Amino acid sequence: MTGPVASPDTASTGNDRARTTRARALDWLIGAAGMLLVLVLLAGILWIALSRPAGDAPESPVTSGPGTTPSAAPTPARTPPPGLRTDEVWLGDIALDSGAVVAAGTLLRDVRATGVDVTSGEDGISAARLVLDATVPFDVVGDELGPDTLVGPGEDGEARVVRTVEALGRELDVVAAGTVEVVAGRLVVEPTSIDIGGPAFLADLLASIVREFVTIEHEIEGLPEGLVLQSVRVQDDGFRAHLEGSDVVIAN
């Protein structure tokens, strides 16, 4: 018994499919080989760029003499002011760090100052530019409001004031909180909330009466003339103040 015999057209179609498959495979192999060759060339170029011949010493970014090691770019040299007298001393820049400073009876902590173009002579000591950061302790500010006043950090960067005030012939324990700002060169804390421990309507009624007793307006004293308070923020140990000034007279 003889099985079915493929027709000429069917055999031809099968041959065409086989040739197409082989052609596609060959094209894929050629493409893959080309991509591999490109990757090998790129790797070789990258290797040459990142490496150096064996035995060659690496180039130093700074070559000012034998044994010189790389270092940071130097600070541009400052030049003395014109007309500097022989009895005057000029410093291009200075830096001062002190854990505590007392000036005009006022205590400051963690003081950091930098000055530029500092000149010392018969007329005293002056700086063309002076920047100072210092912490004003809470008790220094609290003493200005009155005895038994507590000033400390509040929530969300606010300052907190607790004190006993007399209003309408009675004493009230007041707790106030407010954000710290700089107003006309002074450290100012204007209460945004006042609590007297009673009903809310009573606190609102008496807020205008006790507000002045818990409002802080502090001027940092004892600092060189010309320094101006720029910003203040509340820390755990006090008010951190940032001051700047030009042509500052440090000492007469």
Domain ranges of the chain: 11-54, 89-131, 136-247
Distances from the Cα of 244 to the Cαs of 196, 225, 226, in angstroms?
39, 11, 8
Q: Which residues pair with 242 in a beta bridge?
A: 133, 231
Mean pLDDT split into 10-residue runs, the chain, 252 residues: 52 62 61 57 53 55 49 61 80 90 89 91 86 95 89 94 82 90 94 81 75 91 90 96 93 80
Torsions phi, psi of 222, nearest 5? 85, 5
pLDDT the model gives residue 84: 79
Q: If 0-12 CB within 10 Å is exposed, 13-18 middle and 19+ buried, where does residue 90 land?
A: middle
pLDDT the model gives residue 184: 92
pLDDT the model gives residue 134: 96
pLDDT the model gives residue 35: 59
Q: Hey, is 106 helix, strand or coil? A: strand
pLDDT the model gives residue 186: 93
